[in-house]
Amino acid sequence: MDHPADTSGEQPGPGFRADTSGEQPGPGLRADAERNRERIVATARRLYASHGLGVSMACIARAAGVGKATLSRRFATREELINAVFADRMDAYAAAVAEALADPDPWHGFVGYVRSVCAMQAADRGFADVLAMTFPAAKALEKRRAAAYQGFLDLIERAKATGRLRADFTDQDMVILLMANAGVIAATGDAAPDTWRRLVGQMLRAYAAPGADLPPLEPTPAPTALYRAMVRLTRPAAGPGDGRE
């Protein structure tokens, strides 16, 4: 997975203040703390969206123009930061389930849900990783995921009752698809950015019972685009480490 270039040479932004251990609480400090928090979350959202969750905490601190101690005070763990960054994305994920359940045609709702969630992954590489992983320490995030998951189980049963979703489809098949889609998104990047659409279309055909109606299959990526993606995978990853800093 690509990572952003090491930003250790970046100059802190205009609002940067060095960490001090002797600060006393007060209105000014609280305002500074909130600005730092907002800057950290915005920076993490941007870097995660472009590069996935492999971006290190140290890189986020540097890019946000704060010290490691400031980052640690605002977010003691990586899971806390991920929870803050992706809370709204997980809300949208839950909303997609609710919208699918409200569709009077459960099969149509199922197809729309699968395509919508995979599109969310394609729009944000960090969220692609979030949907393919679990974070037990990020309790608020996992609570939202669990609620959406229960709705999806209901959607599966409704779609099967129409006779158009294969009887042997399970919720684990969706987990596998999200993992595969995250991998395709990370591998193709901007070299062949619509490749995920072909994957999802083919998988929906695998899930459909004979005779089920499906949207037209997306075209395959151009050979030159896939070649660029394959070349891209041979390049060494640039920038900070594996996100555990």
pLDDT of residue 33: 82
How far apart CA 130 and CA 87 sit, in angstroms, is 11
pLDDT of residue 205: 97
Flag the least confident range among 6-20, 154-168, 213-227. Answer: 6-20
How far apart CA 245 and CA 77 sit, in angstroms, is 10
pLDDT of residue 111: 97
Average pLDDT over residues 165-177: 96
pLDDT of residue 143: 87
pLDDT at 71 over 70: yes
Distances (CA, A) of 192 to 132, 159, 226: 21, 32, 6
pLDDT of residue 141: 87
pLDDT of residue 28: 53
Q: Summarize pLDDT for 75-94 with one digit per residue, the tens.
A: 999 999 999 999 888 999 99
Residue whose pair of structure tokens reads 């089920």 in the numeric block: 212
The rounded percent of the chain whose pLDDT value lies above 70 is: 84
How far apart CA 230 and CA 30 sit, in angstroms, is 48
The whole-angstrom distance between residue 242's C-alpha and the CA centroid of its chain comes to 16
pLDDT of residue 3: 45
pLDDT of residue 15: 40
Q: Summarize pLDDT for 1-51 with one digit per residue, the tens.
A: 444 444 333 444 434 333 433 344 445 557 788 888 999 999 999 999 988
pLDDT of residue 110: 98
Average pLDDT over residues 192-214: 96
How far apart CA 32 and CA 37 sit, in angstroms, is 9
- Both tokens of residue 196? 């995920």
pLDDT at 161 over 90: yes
The whole-angstrom distance between residue 199's C-alpha and the CA centroid of its chain comes to 18
Q: Summarize pLDDT for 88-146 with one digit per residue, the tens.
A: 889 999 999 999 999 999 999 999 999 999 999 999 989 988 888 888 888 888 888 88
Flag the least confident range among 12-21, 150-159, 178-187. Answer: 12-21
User: Phi/psi at 21 (nearest 5 deg)?
Assistant: -85, -15
pLDDT of residue 16: 37
